[in-house]
């Protein structure tokens, strides 16, 4: 995985902090590595659906953001990432105390960056794959 | 479109109200018809991404929920809907004062209900298609 | 829908003819309009799956190609189209004598062109929607 | 991965043989294991697109079939598999002498089986990931 922006960690942390919705749902970036990013959200009642579990909208949001930030690790300094599209499969309801989304770059092209996100439901500290997504990111240069 | 639950409007309103995340982002159901449901969310800073626009996570959440509730109009009384998977394409950033997601049933099968959601960015009252999604819902009987 | 290549019809017919796989399955382009393209394939036993119906691989191929050629109507002369990704939902088995795939441009961006394809199963001359797809095409300039 | 049909290998080989389209493109099943299936197709001019490379329709067909048959390894004897939907990302053109699609079961539910297929372009014996797909299969019981 070629790294073109040596300051990618700081760029990601800055962009993440600038997303007010991330603070609103109390999301945290917990790992950043070349081609990889992890984001967590803890359960709270405000984020629940009609059976009391974490809302799938949070799962989708995290799957999207984890891959979006994974893509930030492989682009040029000054570029930004926009999500072109994603597809997500929900495998089981989120019943635990938090979820962790792990985003990975599958292929970094000149403009398009294909990523995969796996989302884990963490209950009593045990992880279970609860959703998986395939995503296409676009590098917008000079922004 | 065959209607099996004559009280589908009330069922949808009850389920929607039970989703605390919908209240948290101040989403409203604005239309329910056979095979169709519309949900709106107004812009507020808490829901924004790093350029200040509405976060794509909100767009995805509404696309999912509008089709999920559209599916509720064609299932049996006592059944509930779970999202199996969806795919969403983002067409333009959401720059307006609110978004409207319109969910439509494309095919209601015995177990699977395929839906389409179109999401509109509303700026100064003018609508613009900003995202489109294709979704698979599952009817869980007797719940 | 802005047209940049006045000779798009000829371009499409030439590209289609150059795809030997289209001749192999005996596919025909039956309509080309701005932002729109239709392709047909007739049933033959060689294209069948294990229940004797037309193979879903043909359905997917046509959904992809119909939108790919729809995208050709909105790009510059000399550009070519590559499929970035697509998602397809199969709604019912193809039991008729032919299928028609109708591809439509949903949004023509600077580089990415988002399309939708609807595929119809034609039995005794009656059309039935049997698959629907959402696709992202990339314009490769100067090729 | 729980195996309910001890004769799954024979079932898969029989179903594969019954798909005449597989013979038409000269596809071969090269590996069957619990939750896993591999299918190959060699390049021939009849299967090419307009640049002379293997047509993406073949890539999509194999991605679909490899996961479909992977799903056959985890269902009951007498059940059959139907593809509900899939999403595929194309990562690079297929320029080699053959492709191999590897399908894997990600989650085997009561009715729905979520799978992933990775497709490799093999050039001079060297494999390169050229497409990746996420798929939803449905188990049809008693057929």
With a pLDDT cut of 90, the percent of chain B lying above it is 96
- Closest CB from B111, B136, B138 relative to D85: B136
CB contact under 8 A, B56 and A49: no
Chain A to chain C, count of Cβ pairs less than 8 Å apart?
Answer: 19
Please give the ipTM for the structure prediction.
0.97
Q: What is the structure's pLDDT at B54?
A: 95
**What string of pLDDT tens digits covers the 143 residues of chain C?**
899 999 999 999 999 999 999 999 999 999 999 999 999 999 999 999 999 999 999 999 999 999 999 999 999 999 999 999 999 999 999 999 999 999 999 999 999 999 999 999 999 999 999 999 999 999 999 85
Find the closest chain D residue to C47 by CA distance.
D21
Q: What are the pLDDT digits (tens) for D28-65? A: 999 999 999 999 999 999 999 999 999 999 999 999 99
| Per-residue model confidence (pLDDT) at position A92 | 97
Q: Count interface pairs A-D at CB distance under 8 A.
A: 38
The sheet carrying B36-42 orders its strands as A27-33, A36-42, A98-108, A112-123, A126-140, A80-90, B80-90, B126-140, B112-123, B98-108, B36-42, B27-33
Q: Name the nearest CA neighbour of D24 among D68, D71, D57, D67.
A: D57
Check A64 against B57: CB less than 8 A apart: yes
Which of D85, D111, D134 lies at the smallest CB-CB distance from B111? D111
Confidence of residue D118 (pLDDT cuts 50, 70, 90): very high
D84, D115 contact by CB (below 8 A): no
DSSP state of A63: H
Q: Do A85 and C111 touch (CB under 8 A)?
A: no
d(CA C111, CA A111): 9
Name the residue in chain C with its Cα closest to that of D54: C21
Distance CA C59, CA D57 (A): 9
Q: Which pLDDT does position A130 carry in this prediction?
A: 98
Token pair, residue C131, equals 């698959």
Alpha-carbon span B108 to B112, nearest angstrom = 7
| Average pLDDT, 10 consecutive residues per value, chain A (143 residues) | 94 97 97 98 95 95 98 97 98 96 97 98 98 98 79
Is there a contact between C58 and D21 if contact means CB atoms under 8 Å apart? Answer: yes
Pick from A32, A89, B135, B117: which is nearest to D107 by CA? A89
User: What is the chain D residue with the closest CA to B140?
Assistant: D111
- The answer, yes or no, to whether residue B1 has pLDDT greater than 90, is no
pLDDT in tens, B26-60: 999 999 999 999 999 999 999 999 999 999 999 99
Output the pLDDT for position D142.
87
Return the structure tokens found at B60: 């995805």
Which position has the token pair 């449905």? D138
State the nearest Cα–Cα gap between C99 and chain A, in angstroms.
26
DSSP A70: H
Adjacent-strand bridge partners of A89 = A132, B85
Residue D19: per-residue pLDDT: 96
Q: What is the pLDDT of residue C80?
A: 95
Which pTM was predicted?
0.97
Judge contact between B132 and B91, C-beta under 8 A. Answer: yes
**DSSP 8-state secondary structure symbol assigned to residue B48:** B
**Nearest-angstrom CA–CA distance, A99 and A91:** 13
Contacts of A115 (CB under 8 A, 6+ apart): A67, A68, A70, A71, A103, A104, A105, A106, A134, A135, A136, A137
């Amino acid at each position: 995985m070629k790294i073109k922006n040596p300051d990618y960690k700081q760029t990601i942390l800055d962009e993440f902090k600038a997303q007010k919705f991330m603070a609103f749902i109390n999301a945290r970036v917990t790992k950043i590595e070349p081609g990889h990013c992890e984001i967590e959200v803890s359960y709270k009642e405000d984020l629940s659906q009609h059976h009391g579990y974490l809302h799938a909208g949070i799962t989708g949001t995290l799957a999207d953001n984890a891959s979006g930030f994974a893509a930030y690790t492989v682009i040029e300094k000054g570029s930004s990432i926009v999500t072109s599209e994603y597809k997500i499969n929900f495998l089981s309801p989120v019943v635990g105390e938090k979820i962790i989304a792990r985003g990975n770059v599958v292929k970094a092209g000149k403009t398009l960056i294909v990523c995969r996100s796996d989302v884990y439901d963490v209950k009593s500290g045990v992880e279970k794959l609860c959703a998986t997504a395939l995503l296409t990111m676009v590098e917008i240069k000079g922004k």
